[in-house]
Amino acid sequence: MKKEQDISELERKFQEKIDQDIKIEPKDWMPDNYRKTLIRQISQHAHSEVVGMLPEGNWITRAPNLRRKAVLLAKVQDEAGHGLYLYSATETLGADREDCIDDLHSGKAKYSSIFNYPTLTWADMGAVGWLVDGAAIMNQVPLCRCSYGPYARAMVKVCKEESFHQRQGYEIMMALAAGSVEQKEMAQDALNRFWWPSLMMFGPPDEDSKHTKQSMDWRIKRHSNDELRQMMVDITVPQAEAIGLTIPDADLKWNEEKGGYDYGEIDWDEFWNVVKGNGPCNKDRIDTRRKAKENGAWVREAANAHAEKRKARKLRRAS
């Protein structure tokens, strides 16, 4: 009974800090479910950054000029860095990085469904930057105010770099839309294929999201899935109109009363099918990441052996 009272008091003080927007730090007491929720969300975020390198890395050697290649290479490098920050953030919660990665490879852990779609043309690099990174920014900027300190601080740097990624993508789409008839058609085709999957990135509708309410109560999230999705639509539609592209939604129209756009029904069957591992590229993405880990094992072993030798050398000098 005493122990239950103690835990109840700790939970009360914890929620009090949350309500006052005081950051929770790694050594602070936190409920087990808060810790588990963060590990799940942050590791999923890390997996998405690392898997997200694959559809873009596919175009580095085929970029149309040296400038585009250098920018895309820098972007993919940024994504790798984001993954490292986030895996480090999970470690502050007591998670093991290797276990997190193994969960990804086994299919136990998820990553953003958008990366299970193929990038078929150069215009897809524009659509990914503009729409996918645009959706990521919409989701991640509020995370800079997340209640968990290490995650919030990591997001500040991540969001600065994601804003560059989004501008890079929009610039590609703008250049193609202003180019030849074939180039504009390519840009429109990329928009057609990535529009709906980009809206799916925010997750299922609020009524079907089992994590949203608790995450908002803990101020891990600041906005619901549907609120973020609406923000994405309202910001992106004028951007498409500005460069002469058409959002592929016959039901899209401005709603004066709510001050935002009404949009068509999302194909949630497609969303859940991809989440369950049946998307166009699910198997290929996981196979590629698994092979990368296996093929890179000797590098990690060599680095660890070198670190141990340096450590032993320092100890000998100190003794």
Q: E strand or H helix at 20, and its extent?
A: none
Q: Residue 226 in 3-state DSSP?
A: helix
Can you give the pLDDT at residue 210?
A: 84
Label residues 190-229 b or e (16+ Cβ within 10 Å = b): bbebbbbbbbbbbbbeeeebeebeebeebbbbbbbbbbbb
Q: What is the pLDDT along the chain (319 residues), one digit of tens a residue?
A: 556 666 788 999 999 999 999 999 999 999 999 999 999 999 999 999 999 999 999 999 999 999 999 999 999 999 999 999 999 999 999 999 999 999 999 999 999 999 999 999 999 999 999 999 999 999 999 999 999 999 999 999 999 999 999 999 999 999 999 999 999 999 999 999 999 999 999 999 999 888 888 999 999 999 999 999 999 999 999 999 999 999 999 999 999 999 999 999 999 999 999 999 999 999 999 999 999 999 999 999 999 999 999 999 998 888 7
Closest-CA residue to 270 (of 279, 262, 261): 279
DSSP secondary structure, 59-118, as one string: TGGG-SSHHHHHHHHHHHHHHHHHHHHHHHHHHTTT--HHHHHHHHHHTSS---GGGGS-
**Where does residue 92 fall: left (phi above 0), alpha (psi -120 to 50 degrees), or beta otherwise?**
alpha
As a three-state string, the secondary structure of 127-143 is HHHHHHHHHHHHHHCHH
Cα separation, 315 vs 319, whole angstroms: 6
Q: What's the confidence (pLDDT) of residue 63?
A: 96
122: which residues sit within 8 A by CB, 6+ positions away?
59, 62, 63, 64, 172, 186
pLDDT at 3: 60
Q: Under DSSP, is residue 19 helix (H, G, I), strand (E, B) or coil?
A: helix
Tell me the two tokens of residue 168. Answer: 């890079």
pLDDT at residue 77 in the model: 95
Strand partners, 260: 255
The Cα 58–Cα 306 span in angstroms is 33
What is the rounded CA–CA span in Å between residue 52 and residue 49? 5
